[in-house]
Structure 1
Amino acid sequence: MFFIVYALLEKSKLLGADQKQINAFVSLVVSLIFVSVVFPVMVVNNLILFMTVGIVVIFVGFMIWGFISNGNITLSEGVLKGLGVLTFIVLIIAVLWATGSFPEFWSLLERLFNFAFRSNGSESFWTNFLIVVLVVAAVAAVLKAGKTVKGD
């Protein structure tokens, strides 16, 4: 926590430029207060778990996208705005989950997840569903590539 607060104070120059000692002292005080209370530590631990999974998912997505597009990853203005909105929504969900807000909602989601993925017959359903989605995606890719070749 010390490093995060110190980096934010240094970057924002909130307490003035070249105030390394004051920034370090304020960071130390904030981090000691933070460590002495259990709930904020639990929230940050939960947020770190959420962030770690998110970073891995984004990294794998960019790796696959990079392989498909030969390393040329470009996004249009609309896609960037959409990703910004999606990031904001995910951040709100992460904070609500990490703080333990709305326990009935999370319990409902857990029951729905268990019904969808852990009930009898769900394994074969999701396997077949995934195969159908992959076949449809492959056919769509072939048809799109065929139209591109005919258009040239």
Structure 2
Amino acid sequence: MAQETILQHWVFSGFVLPFLLVFLIVFGILEKTKLFGDGKKQLNAMIAFVIGLIFVGAISQKLVVANLILFLTVALVTMFVALLLWGFVAGDKGLDFGSAPKGLKWFIGIVLVVAVILSLLWASGVPNTAFGDATDFLFGSGWSANFWTNLLFVVVVIVALVLVLKSKVGSDK
């Protein structure tokens, strides 16, 4: 039988880590915003401590944050891989997003907002029936996995072609 370590104990994972997470985030926000004035570290620490203790006592909010942390870790790894691939494509010079077309910036912003909303709905446990049968049809059918994979591949190829062709047109001038 495997031994349980202190890091696997339910007290550590269920109370200590969530408390530390909320305490440090609230303390950091209070320090950065200087909500109570300059040099008020003790007051900021006490307020963050109380908010952290209240948070640890609330079970449903703790579960939502735990689900969001799971989503965040997957999202961070995904973003790391995407940025790594972007670095391979961009090379040493890199690509300047500041000069990107305004429509592309809006598209990326809308995609990010939709992703955050969907992740919040998933993390808070909103049942799949809230979205109706459309979700089951689009993502639960036998054909949907192949369809979405192929669609993503086509979109990536189109974006790559647009970037390459735009850079060639810009270099021809």
- Cα offsets for 1:85-107 (capped at 9, x unmatched): 22222112111211122441468
User: Which of residues 43, 51, 55 in structure 2 aligns to 1:34?
Assistant: 55
Shift of 1:116: 3.2
Partner of 2:125: 100
Judged with a 3 Å threshold, the aligned counterparts in structure 2 of structure 1 residues 9 and 77 are, in CA distance, closer, same or farther, namely farther
| Paired residue type of 2:46 | F
Shift of 1:7: 0.5
Superposed, 1:1-152 pairs within 5 Å as 1-71=22-92, 72-75=94-97, 76-78=100-102, 79-105=104-130, 108=133, 109=135, 112-116=138-142, 126=146, 130=150, 137=157, 148=168
Shift of 1:113: 3.4
Unaligned runs of 5+ in 2: 1-21
Distance in 2 of aligned mates of 1:45 and 1:106: 23
Judged with a 3 Å threshold, the aligned counterparts in structure 2 of structure 1 residues 117 and 38 are, in CA distance, closer, same or farther, namely farther
Normalised to the residue count of structure 2, the TM-score between the two structures is 0.63
Which structure 1 residue ranges, 4+ long, deviate > 4 Å from structure 2? none
Judged with a 3 Å threshold, the aligned counterparts in structure 2 of structure 1 residues 39 and 32 are, in CA distance, closer, same or farther, namely same
Normalised to the residue count of structure 1, the TM-score between the two structures is 0.71
Distance in 1 of aligned mates of 2:79 and 2:51: 31
- Cα offsets for 1:3-42 (capped at 9, x unmatched): 0110011111112122100000000000000001100110
What is the CA RMSD across the aligned residues, in angstroms?
3.3
Distance in 1 of aligned mates of 2:131 and 2:32: 37
| Paired residue type of 1:113 | F
Q: Which moved more, 1:106-115 or 1:31-40?
A: 106-115
Distance in 1 of aligned mates of 2:88 and 2:122: 34
Q: Which moved more, 1:19-28 or 1:78-87?
A: 78-87
Shift of 1:111: 6.8
- Cα offsets for 1:102-142 (capped at 9, x unmatched): 44146854675342369xxx7xxx39x75xx57xx49x95x
Unaligned runs of 5+ in 1: none
Distance in 2 of aligned mates of 1:83 and 1:36: 38
